[in-house]
Structure 1
Amino acid sequence: MRKIFKTAMMLVVLLSFLALPGICLAEEYAAEEEVKKEEMKKKEESEKGKKKEEIKKEEAKKEEKTKEEKKAFELEEMVVTAPEVQGAPGRTVLITKEEIDLKNTQNAIKILEHIPGVYLRPDKRTGGQINIRGVAETKTVILLDDSILNDSFHQKVFWNIIPIEAIERVEVIPGPFSALYGGRGGIGGTVKFITKMPEKEEFFVKGVYGSDNTRRGTASYGNKLHDKVSFYLCYDYMETDGYVTDYITKSAKDGAGDIPVTGWKKTTDSQGNPMYLIGDKGDTETWEWSFLSKLKFDFSDTSSMTLTFSPSQWNYGGGAAGLDDPNSYLRHASTGEPVNSGNITFNDDGEQKNIDLGTATFLGGKSERSKRYRYTLAYETEFTPDFNLRATVEYVDEKKRGIDIAPLAGATSSGGPGKLTRFPFDRWQGRIESKVLNIFGFNNLTLGADYMTEEGGRRNYNEMTNWRDESTKGEMSSKSDGTNSVYSLFVQDEMILMEDRLTLYLGGRLDSWKISDLMDWTTVGDIGTHTYKDRDETYFSPKGSVKYRAFESTTLRLSLAKAFTAPRLHDTLGGASSANYMLLASPYLKPEKATCWEAGVDQTIFDKTLVMATYFENYLRDFQYREYWTESGIRYGVSKSGGKARIRGFELGIKHQITSFISAYANMTYQDTEVTEDKQNPEKEGKRMTNVPQEMYNFGLLCENYAGFKGSVTGRYVGKVYGDSLNRDRKNHVYGSYDPYFTMDAKVGYEIRKGIEVSFAVDNLLDKDYYQGWRAPGREFFGEVVYKF
């Protein structure tokens, strides 16, 4: 038994050893199976997690889409505030690039059209003229960055050559309450266009086509390289066939003439005197281009230098324009052929009338070609976070400024005699400005100096043999030259008190003006050569302003300032502009001065509505006027100063955020003006000032962005304006009148895909026919395509 048991045990052990590898393999297989099961389980759980994540993302997208859709119909929690120019006293206006793009902005002046207190008068050559609170554009500082844009000769701005797409924002300070700008201009206020400098690569191209065969193209490119060098290039070109703005009207004499005609139309001038409309001077064809190039070097995080070169050219009228292709409405009573010259005759209500037409009657327009080159160097550095310095110097070359050509008697559309006038100018200007912040924890001090000196005059030439060929001009018949300089010191202290609730501004300007090297000579009237003594004057303009936030939703404003504007060379130099007209030099013309104040309130209601109100008064003295007389068949004119005037008015405005992307605004301006003293012409006393409307109203509905759409609908009413200093031009809707008018504009744009936008716009939607001296444009259509990245 024992042997059997031992044999059995040995057999079991032997079988065990034989089975061990299988058991091990089985265990390994079982372990592997467990691992596989675990991995499959994890994989299934992962896939379930991914599916859940995808479901969550889909749900999030749906929720986001639902939120976006709800935004179209529900108000978000938004607080409407008045966009202000930082560090500026009084009422200020800040216009962003986004707001500019919402409207049909074909030239830079349109950006200012709906600001309370701003009157925009359309201008066929410059693009328009502005008047702020009754003060002309020539007494307002218009800046592109730190460059004065007011034309050196007339101090007007050629708005069409400002590249709109280069503008990043616009800052407007009505009135002379900022001490930082003035000297030559500043009574009306300051308008500053600030151009962009890209921080990364950007490309932009735009094409516009509109009414009157208007074509506009803009292309820009900018970038920043190696965090040290930035550059920006912008080219803008505009060309248009134009429309009829100038009409030919004539007064008639009693009695029969030589050529019987039809086609005339009885009308009046703006004072109601009988006139006859006999034709027009053709379409105001225009072309112009501008180029803005900026190069910036960052020496460090706190110091940089910027170089700017900006050439531009504009051409109005002349061989490439419609002004040399006029239209006669007159037809020969027998043959039906057009009549352009001769002694015409016609019957008006039983009375025989006659008009003498010279051969150049229908060539009464003139051409103008001008070139401008602007060179600017700017340096800025930050010594500490609270102490910085900026300096600029600029040269403006306008030596090819103002080539005016006018056909004379005997000329035809193909050639003949004419007259050429030039206005060569150049200008140097510089500025240094330093800011010291947080003095004593509440003071921000700005102080600096600027200067401007310009040289130039008029050049008139004897009769051209061919008015279409500039090289045929004769010898110089008259000349005038002079130098105009203004040197200024300024300081402005901003004090922020009472936990940011009270802000005080105290400052002033010391302006020193000098006019020198004045001379003129002419062969007209045997006047000969004259030289004049140098003159200078120094004037201090104090400024003060307070802003008080009485409540979180209420801000009160009060400002008081004096201002100074130096005379223009245009008025002091004089010169002949025709064979029988002579503007005499005014070497003793005084600078114009003003005392101005304003008071206002900004009130926010329920965070969605902003109401603004401002009352202002301007008191002007030594303001300029022109006196005329005739001797020996020659008409003379001279500019004089010494008058006084008063402007008082108020501005009301409201802005309401309807939804997160739709807003509406409305504002109105009332201006009561009066000439209070004019010793040379007492009959002007008590009359309204010229070129100032008594009332203006604006409204607008803006859509910023909804499902790729954006646009605007705006309206504007302007009351009666007088162009005659005695207010005799009361007749409206005739050539030469300044009519009250109401217009509406609209624009809608759509982003087809990221970077590509199309838009369609209509100006003067209701096709209102009105005059602002000349005929204003009727309904105009514009289509626009934009590509950018």
Structure 2
Amino acid sequence: MFRLFFFSLFVVIPGVLAAQNAALRGVVTDGADQPLPGVHVLLPALDRAATTDNDGAFFFEGLPARSVLLRSSHLGYAMNEQRVELTPGVTRQLRIHLREAVIDLGMVSITGTRGADLLRNTPQPVSVIGAEHLLRRVTVSVPDALAAEPGIALVRDGMWGTDVSIRGLSRSNVVTLVDGARIETATAHAAGLSMIDLTDVDRIEVIRGPASSLYGSGATGGVVNIVTRAGGYTDGLYFGGALSSSYASVNRGSAGALTLDMADRWWYAHAHGMLRSAVDAETPNGTLSDSRFHDRNMSFSAGLRPYRSHEVRLRYQRFHAQDVGIPGGSSFPASASARYPDEDRELITAEYATGPLGTHVSNLTLRYLRQSIGRNVEIVPNDKVTLRPSADHEMDALQLQNTWLFGGHRIIAGADAWARRYSGIRLRELHASSTTIADLPLPDASFRSIGAFLQDEWTLLDGRMRLSLGGRVDQIHVENEEGYDLVYIDSDGQRNDSPPGRALRWTAEESDEISWSMHAGALYHLTDALSLTLNASRAFRAPSLEERYQYIELGDALWLGDEDLAAERGSMFDFGMRLHGSRVSIRANTFLRLMSDLVVDERMSDTLYMKTNIGEARLYGAELTGEYSPFDAAVLYATASFVRGQDTKNDIDLPQMPPLSVRLGFRMPIGEFLYADVSLDAAADQDAVAAGEDRTPGYALYSLHMRSTQLRFAGVGIQFFAGVENMFDRPWRRHLSTLRGLLRDEPGRNFTVRLRMLW
């Protein structure tokens, strides 16, 4: 039924496919004339993109016969732009050289703002981490990789289980996408961002601010858009691959990954596998119990072009973790043990895409996604009882998007619909009496969202000003089944499904609401190097299933949801300045976020926390990123970020606000083949805390990382990476890991090494 409604949102797209038989192929190399893999090659006017393979090659087919702009970009390199004349029936051949950029010039393509564009031309504040940067450090999860970015703080529930906070908002306020699929799972101890294989990630884009007008409910804090690697078409049979291995001393963590790629003119296939294992981590205060993990991932993607600019793409991902420890703390006795016996994430994606349809429609994409996440937890507070919560999270999504070109306007229109279904149970095993008591942490429930969006981008004043205006409307439907405080009691193998004294905890209910969101952005180039940005947005978020219904016991503490929570609404204003010169690069932003009915955990007593709406809240802060090259390829760099959150109605601080943080560093080449990077990561004391929240002392950590250039032997590229983190083995603690007392010790000195081979 909802699919019929989904398609009824659109009129029939006019236009007949014109003859498109021009082709373009090329090779991208670096300054040493070595093939450069992972380069993003874009035809902006056609919204066609490709990524170079391990030989630096790319290939486009089914292009219209016309003059087009070709843009090649890669993190760490200066962008190359050139105009190419395409001729019917002719394959143009190009050889493109990218010179290494000593400092960040913002010349990298992004897609998280719905349309492919250059980072420096996007009004919104966006951070991008590319595959090459991910290789330089041996990190456990996506949040670990993002922790150094301004405005982004790591939320740690364990060594493996992590999340991110963007400008003071996290978990339910941040939408996480993996190849377009939302990671919809529990919002507490979820570890959703830990079930991503970083060795198969092409790039991570983070929108630091509300994006509800693009992605719907939940994006009030921002969006983490994870794009995994995929194959690409070639003009002849191609076979390539990559092999990598890494080691981290702090937890004796070892990992290995293998990638295989095959392609031809009409098809491509990409296969990847990863295996990883780690024991309990060492801290300056001793071994951190229950911090071990073991996981593996397999993924496959394929593309088929049945006719020129028409394409069918398939993706499959399966991530499995087992025996993952959850460190103890104040929530459990010192002797307690907690772990995930196993967690699974499975994603299936089917996508159909076309090139130009007529004169004004440059592309159309239709995508179906199905994702399932299974979570099992085991908590042993003492030798008398074992708790076993488990849950399944199923999600289906359908997305349609197309791009229209009218004069200087690029209009991105589309609709999406997704539905999440939850079912779970919690078992309490009493060993002395051989009794199992089953209850529900949440009732079986579902969350459905249907929305349509429209975004217009255009330029004025001979290209010096760029404007963006967008909005969307969503219909949200939430329903739950009735649930009892006791499901059954099993004693000595005798199960009773109607135990005496059980009571109805949740009645069956459903609710509907309509929401709207919008944003406006402007970027003005004062000079070729200096530009100003201004963004304003109105965001919306419906409370998640966990926030509405949760009934979670952690040690002696109880965490409750509230079925009557109101939806969060907020407005955000962001002002930025960007300077990109030949030797200096500066990006600065200041923001103000005004929110009503913000959902937080309110401390009702020493043992009771409850989800509640704060009437009015204000969050404000600033971010700074700077790079300066005093000579040759040497670079001094710095980042800083600050955020403050206040409950303006009660004039108190909001919980879980990250402290002022700073990163300072210096990187430079050593000889012809090595690069060194020395950095200082520091945070101030966090004394602006809410009632019941611990204050956290500041810290300063020194790290050294080194990498080689890619060395080629007999057609095989080899690259080395090594580093030492927390060089002086100082004890420290992240503030966003202390609210529940789950983690009070961060890793100590850590030696890392990685080897990668390409062919």
Same fold (TM > 0.5): yes
RMSD: 3.4
- 2:389 corresponds in structure 1 to 421
Matched, 1:740 2:698: yes
**Mapping for residues 241-640 of structure 1, pairs under 5 Å:** 241-243=279-281, 282-317=289-324, 362-384=335-357, 386-398=361-373, 401-409=374-382, 411=383, 417-437=385-405, 439=406, 441-463=407-429, 465=431, 474-478=436-440, 480-523=443-486, 526-575=502-551, 577=553, 583-584=559-560, 586-605=562-581, 607-627=582-602, 638-640=610-612
1:775 match: secondary structure = coil
Counting matched residue pairs gives: 617
How far apart are 1:216 and its partner, in Å? Answer: 0.9
Residue type matched to 1:237 in 2?
L
* Structure number with larger C-alpha Rg: 1
The unaligned stretches of length 5 or more in structure 1 are: 1-59, 62-74, 248-278, 327-357, 678-684, 731-737
Contact 1:149 1:157 in 2 (8 A): no
- 2:656 corresponds in structure 1 to 691
- 1:222 corresponds in structure 2 to 261
Q: Give the structure with the higher percent helix.
A: 1
Residue type matched to 1:223 in 2?
M
Contact 2:657 2:689 in 1 (8 A): no
Distance in 2 (CA, whole Å) between partners of 1:604 and 1:94 is 16
1:596 match: secondary structure = strand
Q: Give the structure with the higher percent strand.
A: 2
Contact 1:396 1:426 in 2 (8 A): yes
Matched, 1:145 2:179: yes
Change (3 A) 1:244 1:620: farther
Q: How far does the alpha carbon of each residue in 1:599-624 deviate from its partner, in whole angstroms, 9 at most, with x for none? A: 1111234x221222211101121111
Contact 1:598 1:616 in 2 (8 A): yes
- 1:119 corresponds in structure 2 to 153
Residue type matched to 1:666 in 2?
A
Distance in 2 (CA, whole Å) between partners of 1:78 and 1:192 is 26
2:135 match: secondary structure = helix
Q: How far does the alpha carbon of each residue in 1:400-459 deviate from its partner, in whole angstroms, 9 at most, with x for none? A: x221112254x1xxxx6412111222111221111112x0x2100001111221111431
- 1:251 corresponds in structure 2 to none
2:365 match: secondary structure = strand
Distance in 2 (CA, whole Å) between partners of 1:554 and 1:157 is 40
The unaligned stretches of length 5 or more in structure 2 are: 1-31, 34-98, 111-115, 233-237, 488-500, 739-743
Contact 1:102 1:704 in 2 (8 A): no
Change (3 A) 1:509 1:705: farther
Equivalent pairs: percent with the same residue? 18
Contact 1:152 1:454 in 2 (8 A): no
- 2:92 corresponds in structure 1 to none
Distance in 1 (CA, whole Å) between partners of 2:157 and 2:601 is 22
Residue type matched to 1:770 in 2?
W
- 1:190 corresponds in structure 2 to 223
Change (3 A) 1:703 1:102: farther
How far apart are 1:752 and its partner, in Å? Answer: 5.7
How far apart are 1:162 and its partner, in Å? Answer: 1.8
2:546 match: secondary structure = helix
Q: Structure 1 residues 710-719 or 479-488, which shifts more?
A: 710-719
Contact 2:284 2:748 in 1 (8 A): no
Distance in 2 (CA, whole Å) between partners of 1:77 and 1:131 is 30
Distance in 1 (CA, whole Å) between partners of 2:712 and 2:435 is 56
Q: How far does the alpha carbon of each residue in 1:216-257 deviate from its partner, in whole angstroms, 9 at most, with x for none? A: 1111111213x111111111222111226799xxxxxxxxxx
Change (3 A) 1:96 1:532: same
Distance in 1 (CA, whole Å) between partners of 2:614 and 2:379 is 34
- 2:623 corresponds in structure 1 to 651
Change (3 A) 1:721 1:220: farther
User: For 1:167, which of 188, 192, 201 is the aligned residue?
Assistant: 201
Change (3 A) 1:76 1:173: closer
Distance in 2 (CA, whole Å) between partners of 1:653 and 1:585 is 39
Change (3 A) 1:361 1:153: closer
**Mapping for residues 716-727 of structure 1, pairs under 5 Å:** 716-721=681-686, 725-726=690-691
- 2:43 corresponds in structure 1 to none
Distance in 1 (CA, whole Å) between partners of 2:216 and 2:272 is 29
Residue type matched to 2:570 in 1?
A
How far apart are 1:637 and its partner, in Å? Answer: 5.0
- 1:40 corresponds in structure 2 to none
Change (3 A) 1:459 1:610: same
How far apart are 1:80 and its partner, in Å? Answer: 5.7
Matched, 1:213 2:247: no
Residue type matched to 1:652 in 2?
L
How far apart are 1:169 and its partner, in Å? Answer: 2.3
Residue type matched to 1:494 in 2?
E
1:299 match: secondary structure = strand
Contact 2:290 2:339 in 1 (8 A): no
Distance in 1 (CA, whole Å) between partners of 2:102 and 2:607 is 63
How far apart are 1:708 and its partner, in Å? Answer: 2.4
User: For 1:99, which of 124, 130, 133 is the aligned residue?
Assistant: 133
Q: How far does the alpha carbon of each residue in 1:705-758 deviate from its partner, in whole angstroms, 9 at most, with x for none? A: 96222343332222234696227633xxxxxxx332222322212356442233
User: For 1:201, which of 239, 252, 262 is the aligned residue?
Assistant: 239
Change (3 A) 1:402 1:674: same
Distance in 2 (CA, whole Å) between partners of 1:449 and 1:695 is 39
